[in-house]
Amino acid sequence: MSAVKRNKDSNQPELPMDGPKPEPVLPKPAEGQRARLKRDASGNGEQHIVAEQVEAVAHRPFDPTKVAAGLHTRVDRGFLDYASYVIRDRAIPNLADGLKPVQRRILWALHEKDDGRFIKVANVVGHTMQYHPHGDASIGDALVVLANKRYLIEGQGNFGNIFTGDPPAAPRYIECRLTELARTELFNDEITEFVPSYDGRNREPVTLPSKLPLTLMLGTEGIAVGLSARILPHNFPELLEAQIAILKKQPFKCLPDFPTGGLMDARDYQDGKGSVKVRARIKTRDESAVVITELPPGTTTESLTASIEAAVEKGKLKVKSIHDFTSENVEIEIKCPSGVEPEKLMDALYAFTDCEVTIASRIVVIKDNRPVELTVSEVLRENTAQLVETLKRELELKEQKLQDELHFRTLERIFIEERIYKLIEKCKTAEAVTRAVHDGFKPFRKQMVRELTDPDVERLLQVRIRRISLFDIAQHREQMEKVKADLAETRKHLKHLTKYVIGHLEGLLEKYGPQYPRLTTKSSRHEEVDVKAVAFKAFKVAYDRESGYVGYKVNGEEFKTECTKFDKVLLVFKDGTYKVTELPEKLFVGPELFYCGLPDRERVFTCAYTDRKASYLKRFKFGGTILNKAYLCIPEKSRILFFAPDTPKILYIRYKPAPHQKINQQTCDPKQIEVKSPKTRGRMISIKDVSSVTTEPTRGWDEKATTTEIVFV
């Protein structure tokens, strides 16, 4: 048997691999070619036309632009289809119910299986996979997130810990069910629009008829193709109050509320188009320790502790020890190092760790099958309008049901009281029975709610003999009055719909307000922390003249200076060159370093130098400098004799011995010299060769010799 090669895109076989090859499929000949075939008496006409067609195809010019254009069109179309699917059906929530598709399918699966008892999460995941075409892992993760947000799903078992970041147990070990809020406010099968599931075997809702502002209640993050959304969670009772304000046409304002608590500065929130700053709540336990009791969103006790340890390693702050005692509540104890006040440690934690985070908000939702960017106010107004429409549809549906019930109860009373059922005893066909019932109700048309129909007749004929024999007219009238009262109340609600919606929201607020208090404290303003001011001096810069290295990892004895991570270092060399550099770890500068310290634009420096013709003294401020750029503070080919910060009280100047030289040493008061820029020449000390310039008498200073004071005019 010959092997058959099958096409990858269909189940049809292609060519036999070892059998006779089929004839090539060529286009049909045109009219002129067919006429020529008929006139060809030799029988070779058909072969002639085939040869012509093959030659035409073989000599057709190849056009690469057409091939490239077709490929680009196919790629572009495929990419757009994929991008559209990811945006609308995976990553971005729908404004109508505030849910992503996977969340909607989880809730619908729970609704279908709901009997009031807990259901194993693995079973819910399996049932949801009838609607969700992706893996079970994404379903399980989304279910855990919904359960931890507390509003819609109630969990039993280990659903992880939002404070510590501990993962949940496997789906086969944990159980869940819908909350009462979800049962009453999310579902109504009679007004839900359905579409076939991905495999056509089931039906799933397009959106749920939600009466809750879930978009802002739950908050969400989603990354699609070229589009991302980050909606911050808000406080449920405050959203209800805002919806009431919208219906009453009053001003309102809503701010985020995070399940981990914290302190929030929302000055830049801009109605959902800006950002918020959230701090951990830190309390002082005693003079030697602080305690973190609430976390910023997006962090856990583990990640927060790791950020503190990283800041310590980088030298940005100092702590004595960190202990995490978190169980049901957050408790991270941080011991202060000796000599550090708790307030300063708190400022450093806010400045250098994840104890303060900035969260940007971007509300992107699917509205009418298109992604749109909205504000908090716009989302709430849309949700409120949808709430009004949903409650109106439910009232209209209830009104229709009450009308139908009232109509049938009226028919039932007439059917039994007036013994219309007796008219069908002699009827021998179904048509005759129906006609007899219609004729029997004609005298009572004024008592009926609407005209009698054939379905009404069928329903009346199904009334059992027992019900007819035990019919209680008083009880029936009482039930009729109750139905009429319900119908009147429903029509009243429809007439005053806004008032009814406000009452519905106030009922929710009264019932659920105490259950969901605000967790994140609103703060009008955080005190801005100066990063440099609160940084700990954890680095000791030193200079080793023998090796020529300077830095905080150098074991030297000169210019020891305590620095923070943010400090710069000023280096001054003997030839008058100076520059400001980043805090060096181990930098080679050579043996000619004259000064190393922290730069200060307003600090006064005193410098004495010589250019071999004369010696000069000056005072100056370095001012601003460009990082790592070399400058000169004395003229070229000069040499520094003395350099020190601030202004010494007196300088002792010794000259080299020379023939006929009467004065070998002098003193001067540097305060006599005005403060100028580093480029100033300064005041001349002497044309003699200077041996040394010091702030104290050194060895070799002759106390008995004549010493005069230099006076600068």
Residues tagged active-site? 173
Instruction: List C-alpha distances in Å: 500 to 103, 210, 400, 493.
Output: 30, 17, 18, 6
Is-contact 261 282, C-beta < 8 A? no
Residue 262 exposed, middle or buried by CB count within 10 Å (0-12, 13-18, 19+):
buried
CA distances from 295 to 29, 331, 355, 580 (A): 81, 10, 7, 39
For 97-137, what is the HEC assignment?
CCCCHHHHHHHHHHHHHCCCCCEEHHHHHHHHCCCCCCCHH
Q: Whole-angstrom Cα distance, residue 138 to residue 689? A: 84
DSSP per residue over 40-90, as a string? -TTS-HHHHHHHHHHHHHHTPPP-HHHHHHHHHHHHHHHHHHHHHHHIIII
| Cα–Cα distance measured from residue 223 to residue 369, given in angstroms and rounded to the nearest whole number | 17
Which amino acid does the sequence have at 385? A
Cβ neighbours, 10 Å, residue 28: 8
Cα–Cα distances (Å) from 306 to 191, 300, 313, 322, 653, in that order, read 51, 10, 10, 10, 57
Kindly state the helix (H) or strand (E) to which residue 284 belongs, with its residue range: strand 281-286
Per DSSP, the three-state class of 252 is coil
Count of residues for the chain? 713
